[in-house]
Amino acid sequence: MTQVAIIGAKGIVGQEILSLLHTKKFSFTDLTLFGREKSSLSYKENVFPIIPLRTESIASYDIAFFCAGSAVSEKFIPEFRKKTALIIDLSSHFRMDPLVPLIVPEVNIEQAYDHSGLIASPNCIAIIASVALHPLHQQYRLKRAVIATYQAASGAGYRAMQALIEETEHYLLHKKSAPSFFSVPYAFNLFLHNSPTDAFGFNAEERKIQEEIQKIVSIPNCPISPTSVRVPTLRAHSMSINAEFHYDIELSHAIDAIRNAPGIQYCTNATPQMASGKEDVFCGRLRRDPSINGLDMWVMGEQLLKGAALNAYQIAEQLIKTPSQ
Pairwise CA distance, residues 83 & 3, whole Å: 12
Each residue's pLDDT, cut to its tens digit, for the chain (325 residues) gives 589 999 999 999 999 999 999 999 888 888 999 999 898 888 777 888 999 999 999 999 999 999 999 999 999 999 999 999 999 999 999 999 999 999 999 999 999 999 999 999 999 999 999 999 999 999 999 999 999 999 999 999 999 999 999 999 999 999 988 999 999 999 999 999 988 899 999 999 999 999 999 999 999 999 999 999 999 999 999 999 999 999 999 999 999 999 999 999 999 889 999 999 999 999 999 999 999 999 999 999 999 999 999 999 999 999 988 776 6
Q: What is the residue type of 188?
A: F
Q: Has 267 been annotated as catalytic?
A: no
Beta-bridge partners for 282? 265, 300
Q: Give the per-residue pLDDT at 225.
A: 98
With 0-12 / 13-18 / 19 or more C-beta atoms within 10 angstroms meaning exposed / middle / buried, residue 124 is buried
Continuous segment of H or E residues that includes residue 162: helix 158-172
Task: Give, to the nearest 10 degrees, the angle between helix 12-23 and helix 310-321.
Answer: 40
Catalytic residue among 124, 222, 267, 283, which?
A: 124
**pTM greater than 0.75:** yes
Pairwise CA distance, residues 272 & 264, whole Å: 15
Pick the CATH number of 3-122+308-321 from 3.30.43.10, 1.10.10.60, 3.40.50.720, 3.40.1280.10: 3.40.50.720
Q: Has 137 been annotated as catalytic?
A: no
Catalytic residue among 93, 137, 193, 237, which?
A: 237
- Asked if 19 contacts 27 with a C-beta cutoff of 8 angstroms, the reply is no
Pick the CATH number of 126-303 from 3.30.360.10, 3.30.2130.10, 3.20.20.80, 2.60.120.10: 3.30.360.10
Pairwise CA distance, residues 156 & 149, whole Å: 14
